[in-house]
Amino acid sequence: MRSHLARVAETNEEVLDRVAAKMLDVISSDGLIYVGGTGHSISLMLESFYRAGGLACVQPLYHPGLLPLHGGEDSSLAEKTSGFARILVDRYHPTPSDLAFVFSNSGVNAVPVELADELHTNGTPVVAVVSMPHLTQAPLRGDHKIDAVADFVIDTLVPYGDAAYPTADGATTAGLSSLCGIYIWNLLLVRLADLAADKGVQLPIFTSSNVAGGAERNADLFKHYRQQVPLL
């Protein structure tokens, strides 16, 4: 896993730099960063939203029906349902001044692909965080896969099928997509912090409410973003 993460960082270095610069542009103009995903990619949405060290300007494109905890098989059916994505985008109204991340290991299911389509139609730049090894082998389930419409593609390099460690009985375990997605998000946050420092921009970063002064710092962020980010 360590060597895989090192390859992810090295392979995506250029696109990570470009995406971090775009994130800073959006934040500097008081725009929002939208995040979407289905199935276990929802864990990456959770990582990006309302957490210590995270950005306050993040709005998830989320529906409970897409979460496996509300029914594993049902969530798999939901993520393949055409039309679901439009409901999410219409609810939150992202604009060309914003930026959107769509997390999708396979890059072929209806909801993440159509999320990218709907965002693109709105003029919102799209970052797809996807396994290109899986995407290239996965069957086409619509007119195209997510890389065809994304403005930026960050490759997790996760092997086909996600699980990466062979077991004695011929199966595989240890899925890598969540680990890689969280690592990529943190690589972006570090780049963003360094860029912001160079340009004298103060980032809207949440502080743990369990440290001195954290609740007070966060109160200012709630006041600023609560209307823009309804889930706060």
Higher-confidence residue: 69 or 103?
A: 103
pLDDT in tens, 37-51: 888 888 899 999 999
pLDDT in tens, 128-171: 999 999 999 998 888 899 999 999 999 999 999 988 888 999 89
Which of 21-30, 49-58, 119-128, 207-216 is least confident? 207-216
Average pLDDT over residues 41-67: 89
pLDDT at 62 over 90: no
This prediction's pTM: 0.92
Where residue 78 falls among pLDDT bands split at 50, 70, 90? low
Which of 12-26, 108-122, 189-203 is least confident? 108-122
pLDDT at 70: 63
The angle subtended at Cα 13 by Cα 62 and Cα 100, nearest 5°, is 20
What topology is assigned to 2-225 in CATH?
Rossmann fold (3.40.50)
pLDDT at 75 over 70: no
Average pLDDT over residues 82-110: 91
